[in-house]
Chains A and B, each alone.
Chain A
């Protein structure tokens, strides 16, 4: 496997239409990496949730999409960074149904279930960074 693109793609998240761009780029790259339809859908949906959190709760920020290599082969990693208020109680925010904004409260907890790796860093002083990664399962099965 060769690395398709060494440079990560950075996208701003400032307005509603930016969310569409994030979804489209994640989907296009997931297809290029060879993810199956179910895995594509899961990653795009998780990215959609987190991008909207960045916009709504974090006051805007950016997304970075990168191709990664690891023990599990090739994967796709998406980071969402904002310098908003931060999350005071990460455990609480990650529980199903918890929302401070009248939402369903399924965005954070649900997207954690949709991906292989989920990493949330939040500073109570401000700023949140969430990184999700999906590994190409179909390839792993095919090659081993």
Chain B
């Protein structure tokens, strides 16, 4: 939004740049006491003041280029790097996006007050124009910071997704030659690949002859999930381990049957306890070669 002819807008931006350069030190001193800077740079105040300087210099460069409403203006790049690190630290401290946004928008006040003080020298008309450009500049700054925060959140989500994939599939050694995998969450293709690899490795490592796959924590068993389960059972068999699937809740059992899935080739038990009893009983009856004593 520009008031007056483009020339006066350029003049206003020029005035803002001048203000930021002239009052660099005063603004930095005020900013350094704000929570945004103070809470991040906790070691020395000089550090905070230095960070303020770099943000002010970049803002002045943006104002000088006249592109106060342009997110792509080159001056915003260093600001984004600087403020992204700071706002990320504020977010980690538990502040919501809108709270951080408030802290960023508070930065405008120092410049605003100093502009007031210069009204006499600048003249009323120029001050008015400068104010408009100042508001625009700090408005754009807020958008730049919010974008950086969203970007950061996106990266966190991607990292967590990867972590979940690796974390949620532990293989537990329950007894001599007996391992169990408590499956939690939807068994999509990527997950079931990880489960299969972890299970086969554990079977080799523990010389397991029985593996329990517990699906208590799997919300939906459809034909693809069933296929993944059966593939896992088949590969475990090839490695010399018999699988038993436990944790089949009544609603899931009814659904599997009506869907027409045939799990009859797989040993199944209602609960993990039942599966454990079956496994130990089998071992005791000598149906499986056992090494240790039970």
Contact = CB atoms under 8 A, between A and B. Distances in A.
Interface in A119-140: none
Interface stretch (A2-10, A68-76, A109-117): A109-117
B259 A111 contact: yes
Contacts of A110: 223, 258-261
Contact of B251 (A23, A41, A107): A41
Interface string B214-225: 000001111110
Instruction: With a 10 A CB-CB cut-off, give which of A23, A38, A109 has the most chain B CB atoms.
Output: A38
Interface of A: 16, 19-20, 23, 27, 37-38, 40-42, 44-45, 48-49, 52, 96, 103-104, 106-107, 109-111, 113-114
14 contacts: A23-B186, A23-B219, A27-B219, A38-B255, A42-B255, A45-B221, A45-B259, A48-B222, A49-B223, A106-B260, A107-B223, A109-B260, A113-B259, A114-B255
A47 to B, nearest CB: 9
Contacts of A38: 250-251, 254-255
Given A38-B250, A52-B224, 5 more contacts: A37-B251, A38-B254, A41-B254, A48-B222, A111-B259
B188 interface: yes
Size range of the chain B interface in the assembly? 20 to 34
A104 B255 contact: no
Interface string B234-269: 000000000000000011101100111100000000
B188 A16 contact: yes
Q: Which 4 A-B pairs have the closest CB atoms?
A: A110-B259, A41-B251, A48-B222, A38-B251
Contact of A23 (B189, B220, B227): B220
Interface in B189-237: 189, 219-224, 226-227
B252 A41 contact: yes
Contacts, number: 64
Contact of B223 (A23, A104, A113): A104
A44 B227 CA distance: 18
A37 B221 CA distance: 14
Given A52-B224, A104-B223, A104-B227, A96 B251 contact: no
Contacts of B254: 38, 41-42
A104 B254 CA distance: 18
Contacts of A111: 259
Contacts of A106: 223, 259-261
A23 to B, nearest CB: 6
B220 A96 contact: no
Contacts of B259: 45, 49, 106, 110-111, 113-114
Given A103-B227, A114-B255, A114-B259, A45 B188 contact: no
A41 B255 contact: yes
Contacts of B255: 38, 41-42, 45, 114
Contacts of B224: 52, 103
Contacts of B189: 16
A15 B227 CA distance: 20
A19 B188 CA distance: 10
Contact of B220 (A48, A103, A109): A48
A27 to B, nearest CB: 8
